[in-house]
Amino acid sequence: MITAKDFTKVQRQLETYLSEHLGDVKVQVGENIHYRGTNVVITCAQFAGWLPEQRFHHVVLAIPPDCYDRHLRRGIVWFELAPGETPQQYMGMPRSEDIAAEAPAIAVMLQKKGFAGRMLALLGPHPEDASTTHFAATRQVLAECKLTNAEIEKACLYLIAEGAYCDMQVLMDVLPKLSGQKS
């Protein structure tokens, strides 16, 4: 929990930690900025096109655990915004829990479309080229599978629910499950 007297200090710390991993970031810490309670608002151009859970995942990874545990683990309302994005737009974005009931059908669809093989064909020879921050290759392959934008979004949410927040995690953690291999 952040006390009001520590807002500025925590804001500066977060800007330092996050800028090392995400580039140009703007951080606001305060009461009732966009929602009741203590808010942490992070604005970053890299967030454009990312789903909310991807944003939060990468933010938390960039914060040292002791700082996160001491100030940020409880009682915080987080907003990870792309420039020009409103809090209302952000709060209206889908989360992996929204597609939980559809997850088995999405997995079957990805298998039928040959998603694992297509990802391996694209990235397998050079797995080091897989992004560790976003789903660029994943979205490319899903589009090549002839999925609609809505289906691509649901597939990405399914991958997040499976623990993948970027192409590298799709390649290393989810593809073995989809292709029937043991991880």
Beta-sheet strand order (sheet of 25-31): 25-31, 38-44, 76-81
pTM for the whole structure: 0.91
Compute and round to an integer the Cα radius of gyration of the chain.
Answer: 18
Q: Tell me: the pLDDT tens digits for 63-90? A: 999 999 998 989 999 999 999 999 999 9
Q: Are strands 25-31 and 38-44 parallel, antiparallel or unpaired?
A: antiparallel
Closest of 183, 149, 147 to residue 164, by C-alpha: 183
151 Cβ contact list (under 8 Å, min separation 6): 109, 142
All structural domains of the chain, each given as residue ranges with its CATH number in brackets, are 4-91 (3.30.300.90), 96-178 (no CATH)
Q: Tell me: the pLDDT tens digits for 23-41? A: 999 999 999 999 999 999 9
Mean pLDDT by 10 residues, the chain (183 residues): 91 96 95 95 96 97 94 93 96 97 96 94 86 95 97 98 96 87 43
